[in-house]
Structure 1
Amino acid sequence: MTESEALPFVFGGLEPPLSDFGNSHVLIWPVPFERTVTYGHGTREGPAAIIEASRNMELYDEEIGGETAKIGIHTLPAMNADREPEEMLRALHREAQKLVMTGKFVCMLGGEHSISAPVVRAFREEFPHLSVLQIDAHADLRDSYDGTPYSHASTMRRILEVCPAVQVGIRSLSAEEARVISRLPTRVFYAKDLTGRLDWMDKAVDSLRQDVYLTIDIDGLDSSLVPSTGTPEPGGLTWNEVLGLIRILALKRNVVGMDLVELCGSPGSNASSFLAAKLVYKTLGYIFRKLVPPLDC
């Protein structure tokens, strides 16, 4: 048995007291729901794949200058996802309401993107001036898809019913979405307009309200970096572009919660899973930078 295999099956492989609920600033919430995907499958395996990859990460972050894990990260049991979409989304909303009231930072791991909308609704109830930053290849603005308004392809349309958003990295949308997007409460930063530039990051963050929920569809990154996702799209964001945006977001805004969705945890997808785990960990480092103790020398 290797050293990593001996670690607990929780995010970062953390052990008590760092993994205890009472000592944690962060709750990792696995939600392995997959019912409305329409192309590649495997997002139900995403949360477990991210947690497994995270057990093999170095916990020291050279950019932060310490171990973000020292703030305490508790991994919740995976939510029961064997439900029909509408029932699942109601259950997600109820559970999210409870988690928001703990006062801890909630990071949900999906799972397909439809799970984000009811969670955002719960955060909006606690933070009246909430806005959403979406990193994604797809606009997800269809009013309904395959006969349901609760599809992963409709999640941002449902979110915009409760709060405004900024959408970054978009490079795939339907004619239906293109017709209505200018009339919706969202500002879109298309991937084609971002290449070779940095000024867009501040503009995107400055378009958000003070309280922000961050939703990351892993296909927002270029498909060469993350091929293990349901609908991989070429022409996406680079690793450093995504980190740069989140770094500025954490500096300028109050990030109240987040999710990372649409990773397909299929066999042989270690690179994609590791990137997703590292992205979650880096994001937590930016958000909690002031609380991370410096390295003991």
Structure 2
Amino acid sequence: MNNKTYAGIPEEFSKQEQSKIVLIPVSYDGTNSLKGPKNGPEAFLNASEKLNLYDIETDTEVYQQGIYLAEAVTENESAEAMVNAVHQSTKKYIKKNKFVTLIGGDHAVSIGAIRAFNECFDSLTVLHIDAHTNLLKTYQGSAFHKNCALYEASQTTNLIQVGIRSMNAKEKTVVDNEKVYYAHEMAVDDSWMDSAIDQMTGNVFMSLDLSAIDISIMTSVSNPEPGGLFWYETLEFLNKLIQEKNIVGIALVGLSPNEYNASSDFLAARLYYKLLSYKFAEENIGDDYDNSYEGLNQKNNPSKFEDDDEY
């Protein structure tokens, strides 16, 4: 990746010290395909450089809050090594009082990010927006496959799943049907947004796989499924969510770029920028950012994972 700043923004808005937002690219694809989610972060960043950075809806230019493009996580020795690298990088920037965001790579990227946020924020809800449940404990002998991306979160956090329309029969023993919003039910129930938000705690980490979006507008994903969310429906939910809860971080994953059609790259880039615009809509550019992180002395589960606080 040759991008020097996110979206080509001026360097004055891209310095780590002054930036409220950090974006960590994670170029990882567990299938090791030549074309796939591994190339998603680069396609996303390239598309971001072509966006108009004024948001009409919020009347803001959120990049002026400062967006630092962190060094990409490129650990590909093993899935576990990648998860550990994401965990450490994410927690490093949480401790620096940043709003930490990630662009994947396949969904396994979220495992390390969720660990970091769960260690740093009390009573964490993980909002998983996706076509797939990804709740297998192991897949092909690994607990770090994308099909297992939310299993750990299901055991250690308040997991809410939205947009689900594909799952393995084995996952029926893990899934919490009271906290899963299936796409076929959402299609006929206008109350699903309020219901999902009501089940969340105050601090919410969002793991959004782009396969949640309907394939008619989001074609470039590795495992497409019909019947997904549409653009304004998605924005309505995300805006409502951000107004009511403290979104502590975001992982946007699953972009599998198509060299012949870049429309999905631009949708991903615009969706990310929309999320930032909603998050910081009421915050003055000169104000200090407070991510509500209170230090590792208040960790939820101090012995859950190996922890190295040397940053």
Contact kept, 8 Å, 1:170 with 1:220, in 2: the verdict is: yes
Question: How do residues 208-219 of structure 1 correspond to structure 2 at under 5 angstroms?
Answer: 208-219=200-211
Out of 218, 222, 229, the position equivalent to 2:221 is: 229
The structural deviation recorded for 1:74 is: 1.2
2:116 aligned partner, one-letter code: A
- 1:69 pairs, out of 60, 63, 68, with 63
Contact 2:60–2:277 under 8 Å retained in 1:
no
The superposition leaves residues 127-146 of structure 1 with CA deviations (integer Å, 9 ceiling, x where unpaired) of 02111111100000111112
Contact 1:169–1:190 under 8 Å retained in 2 = yes
Q: Distance in 1 between matches of 2:76 and 2:257?
A: 18
For residue 290 of structure 1, give the secondary structure of its aligned residue in structure 2: coil
Q: Would you say 1:260 and 2:255 are equivalent positions?
A: no
CA distance in 1, matches of 2:208, 2:277: 16
Q: From the superposition, tell whether residues 41 and 172 of structure 1 become closer, same or farther in structure 2 (CA, over 3 Å).
A: farther
Match of 1:250 in 2: 242
Query: Which letter maps to 2:207?
Result: T
Counterpart AA for 1:71 = Q
Q: What SS class does the counterpart of residue 257 from structure 1 fall into?
A: strand
Matched residue SS, 2:156: coil
CA distance in 2, matches of 1:203, 1:65: 29
1:40 Cα deviation (Å)?
9.9
Retained in 1: the 8 A contact 2:5–2:11? no
Question: Equivalents in 2 of 1:173, 1:112: separation in Å?
Answer: 17
Cα deviation per residue 1:208-242 (whole Å; 9 max; x = unaligned)?
11000011000000111111111010000111111
Q: What one-letter code is carried by the residue in structure 2 that aligns with 1:20?
A: K
For residues 109 and 144 of structure 1, the distance between their equivalents in structure 2, rounded to whole angstroms, comes to: 24
Q: For 2:23 and 2:206, locate their aligned partners in 1 and report how far apart those are by CA, in whole Å.
A: 14
Match of 2:181 among 189, 193, 218: 189
Alignment check: 8 A CA contact 1:26 1:73 kept: yes
The residue that corresponds to 1:122 in the other structure is 116
The answer for unaligned runs of 5 or more in structure 2 is: 286-311
TM (norm. structure 2) is 0.87
Distance 1:40 1:159 in 2: 29
1:43–1:230: 8 Å Cα contact kept in structure 2? yes
Q: 1:27 is paired with a residue of what secondary structure? A: strand
Alpha-carbon shift at residue 244 of structure 1 (Å): 1.0
Aligned ranges 1:1-297 → 2 under 5 Å:
9-36=4-31, 41-182=35-176, 187-195=179-187, 197-291=189-283
Checking the alignment, whether the CA contact within 8 Å between 2:129 and 2:212 is kept in structure 1 is: yes
1:4 aligns with none
Aligned partner letter, 1:153: N
What's the Cα RMSD here?
1.9
- Please give the per-residue CA displacement for 1:95-150, whole angstroms capped at 9, x wherever unaligned: 22212101110110000101101211111111021111111000001111122111
In 2, the alpha carbon distance for the partners of 1:217 and 1:24 equals 25
Please say if residues 125 and 157 of structure 2, whose CA atoms lie closer than 8 Å, have aligned partners that are also in contact.
yes
Amino acid at match of 2:77: R
For residues 275-297 of structure 1, the C-alpha deviation after alignment (integer angstroms, 9 at most, x for no partner) is 0000000001111111256xxxx
Conservation of the 8 A alpha-carbon contact between 1:105 and 1:256 = yes
Structure 1's consecutive aligned runs of 4 or more residues displaced over 4 angstroms after TM superposition are none
Alpha-carbon distance between aligned partners in 1 of 2:10 and 2:195, rounded to the nearest angstrom: 40
Q: Distance in 1 between matches of 2:91 and 2:176?
A: 31
**Count of equivalent residues:** 284
CA shift at 1:82, angstroms? 2.4
Where 1:181 maps in the other structure, the secondary structure is coil
Cα pair 2:55 2:61 within 8 Å, conserved? yes
2:35–2:257 Cα contact (<8 Å) kept? no
- Give, as a single letter, the amino acid of the residue that structure 2 aligns with 1:11: Y
**Separation (CA, whole Å) in 1 of partners of 2:264 and 2:99:** 24
